[in-house]
Amino acid sequence: VFEKAGVNLSVVYGTMPQEALQAATERGVDRAAGMAPGERVPFFACGLSSVMHPKNPFAPTMHFNYRYFETDGGVWWFGGGTDITPSYVDEDDMKHFHGTYKKICDKHDPEYYKEFKAWADRYFVIQHRNETRGMGGIFFDDQNDKEPDEHFAFSKECVNSVIKSYGPLVEKHKDDEYTPAQKEWQLMRRGRYVEFNLVYDRGTVFGLKTGGRIESILMSLPETARWEYNHQPEPGTPEADFIDAVQNPRDWV
Q: Please state the three-class secondary structure of the chain as a single string.
A: CEEEEEEEEEEEEEEECHHHHHHCCCCCCCCCCCCCCCCCEEEEEEEEEEEEEECCCCCCEEEEEEEEEEECCCCEEEEEEEEEECCCCCHHHHHHHHHHHHHHHHHHCCCHHHHHHHHHHHHCEECCCCEECCCCEEEEEEECCCCHHHHHHHHHHHHHCHHHHHHHHHHHHCCCCCCHHHHHHHHHHHHHHHHHHHHCCHHHHHHHHCCCCHHHHHHHCCCCCCCCCCCCCCCCCHHHHHHHHHHCCCCCC
Give me the active site residues, please.
63
